[in-house]
Structure 1
């Protein structure tokens, strides 16, 4: 039996572990090949409920100290495959040390590529993606740079937006509103909006700040593509179109330009395992938003359309993709998520 460890990561790991266990039982006739171990610094993490075995990580560890702890954890727990979340770049770089104790590391990309993808400004600067060019943007880190960028972009686009160069889950993203005050936006429930003048005043008070991207706002549909790949070769991509009407769910839609973009990005950056690529439609067509080098929060919705992506990525890494059959994607399927209550560990 292969002992597979998921360390501290995003909450979607719970869904991924459940999907792996379900597919593993079906593939082996009830005699599972994979024993799932999950760890987190939170002793009551909901993801523990989806694992065979769980452990609490010591708080405060990071960097090389965390890598050393992971090596010892793999020795003590006899881990066969390590699928890292926290410190994934450093752990991938140390893969030879893990291999020496019998642990294979499933890395999405090299440490250099992961660092690049986490810095949206630097990533977009070197991007070559003609079928889904990113929205026009300017990287700004001072009020002078912000004013210059605004003067360049605002005459060309009816709406602008802003987001941190380094962020996850859309934290810090906001559309600039030139008409409504912050109080009006709050009372009208206009989430992800900020008054343009108040934003500028706040930035001016700081003078310099962490790098932000001032961008053309793309007002079309957003697409989230959950992908699996084998060291630069795209195996499968399941795109979900996020519908605008509240409660209408998401639509599985296989756009040729989007799939071509996923294939090129996978090849160009040598991507591997499970990752997520986000796009949005604007006046010029499909545009890349970002690559998330991890499972998305909506991974379960993608898998409902056919391919069990976490299981396929694990089994492909473990046994080789040539031994796997990837189910057809149910294009046109409408998907959503349904929450239910559980008792925590």
Structure 2
């Protein structure tokens, strides 16, 4: 039996991929802190997790013991579970968090440290200057602006929260008129930044105009077993493998000793050369799309962890997908 703890909204897709690959007699457990039957109903057994993190640990261990569950995937807060790995191992449970130790999370969660680690390892990454106050922010901007467009984001965060591009022609109101464009002038940003005495550390970076590649992968003990690159083209996404971006992502995941269903983001520069943006030691929101490319990553993960035959990979060339909203029953 295998248990998928609360993850991103794509937890539903992960469950469907695992169910497709696993024998019918293998029971799948799924849980979420909220009432999310549209997600957990894809499993054989649906559970609701306690809201409190510490209470959740005791509940997970007790539930796993009662049902004889041997493999647990932490979809969210992987670092929180990783710090308590010994509790799971003491009960003979294989805990999969996204990393093999707290070192992985320490390196990838802090984007400033991540950048330094990549540079030291010879992994091409988007260069960045960390700013912790107004003087450092101005200095970093002036240094990078001499060579081209500049952008900024927090050193810690997900979903692109806090990311902004500095455009000289952007008026002060543009970020309110069209926030999804993520564009503002540096002066407008600086004015807002100075309104508080303290701000979290920020990364100031050159903006790379090329496209992004989101690489979903299955990792085991710091080794990549299977991977698929996804690249957005307008509202659509295409798939790739054995490209410079995918190879760079694989090198990064293995360097940082990732373990589980993991996502690595890269972005191309003006010359089409990929650079690392970040590593997410969890599955991505679009991991389920990869099944359209003929690669069931969730199924590969689940079967291998349970010692079963993994699903065949039948790569499909020139596939293009588009996400749509579909209504599903949310009855518990």
TM-score (norm 1): 0.88
- TM-superposed deviation, 1:52: 1.6
How many pairs align?
Answer: 329
Partner of 2:322: 336
Output the CA distance in 1 between the equivalents of 2:249 and 2:141: 31
Q: Which one is further off, 159-168 or 70-79?
A: 70-79
Output the CA distance in 1 between the equivalents of 2:191 and 2:176: 18
Select which of 118, 125, 134 maps to 1:127.
118
Q: 1:94-127: CA deviations, max 9, x gaps?
A: 3343233342212321222123211111111111
- TM-superposed deviation, 1:128: 4.3
Matched position secondary structure for 1:273: strand
Output the CA distance in 2 between the equivalents of 1:160 and 1:103: 46
Is the 8 Å Cα contact of residues 14 and 47 (structure 1) preserved in structure 2?
yes
Is the 8 Å Cα contact of residues 132 and 286 (structure 1) preserved in structure 2?
no
- Equivalent runs, 1:147-296 vs 2, <5 Å: 147-157=138-148, 159-187=149-177, 191-243=181-233, 245=234, 247=235, 249-283=236-270, 285-296=273-284
Output the CA distance in 1 between the equivalents of 2:198 and 2:42: 44
Select which of 2, 10, 13 maps to 2:11.
13
C-alpha RMSD of the superposition: 2.2
TM-score (norm 2): 0.91
Output the CA distance in 2 between the equivalents of 1:44 and 1:316: 27
Is the 8 Å Cα contact of residues 131 and 257 (structure 1) preserved in structure 2?
no
Taking a change above 3 Å as real, the CA distance of residues 343 and 312 of structure 1, as seen in their structure-2 partners, is same
Taking a change above 3 Å as real, the CA distance of residues 184 and 268 of structure 1, as seen in their structure-2 partners, is closer
- Equivalent runs, 1:28-107 vs 2, <5 Å: 28=23, 32-59=24-51, 61-62=52-53, 64-107=54-97
Partner of 1:313: 301
Is the 8 Å Cα contact of residues 110 and 156 (structure 2) preserved in structure 1?
yes
Select which of 133, 143, 146 maps to 1:142.
133
Matched position secondary structure for 1:47: helix
Output the CA distance in 2 between the equivalents of 1:239 and 1:92: 27
Q: 1:170-222: CA deviations, max 9, x gaps?
A: 11111112222242344456522223211101112224310111111111111
Taking a change above 3 Å as real, the CA distance of residues 185 and 128 of structure 1, as seen in their structure-2 partners, is closer
**Which structure ranks higher in relative contact order (CA pairs < 8 Å, sequence separation ≥ 6)?**
2
Output the CA distance in 1 between the equivalents of 2:277 and 2:228: 17
Output the CA distance in 1 between the equivalents of 2:67 and 2:135: 54
Is the 8 Å Cα contact of residues 305 and 331 (structure 1) preserved in structure 2?
yes
Output the CA distance in 2 between the equivalents of 1:123 and 1:78: 38
Q: Answer yes or no: is 1:22 the counterpart of 2:16.
A: no
Structure 1, unpaired ranges of 5+: none
Taking a change above 3 Å as real, the CA distance of residues 286 and 198 of structure 1, as seen in their structure-2 partners, is same
Q: 1:126-161: CA deviations, max 9, x gaps?
A: 11488862222111111111011112111111x111
Output the CA distance in 2 between the equivalents of 1:23 and 1:120: 35
Matched position secondary structure for 1:341: coil
- TM-superposed deviation, 1:229: 2.0
Matched position secondary structure for 1:43: coil
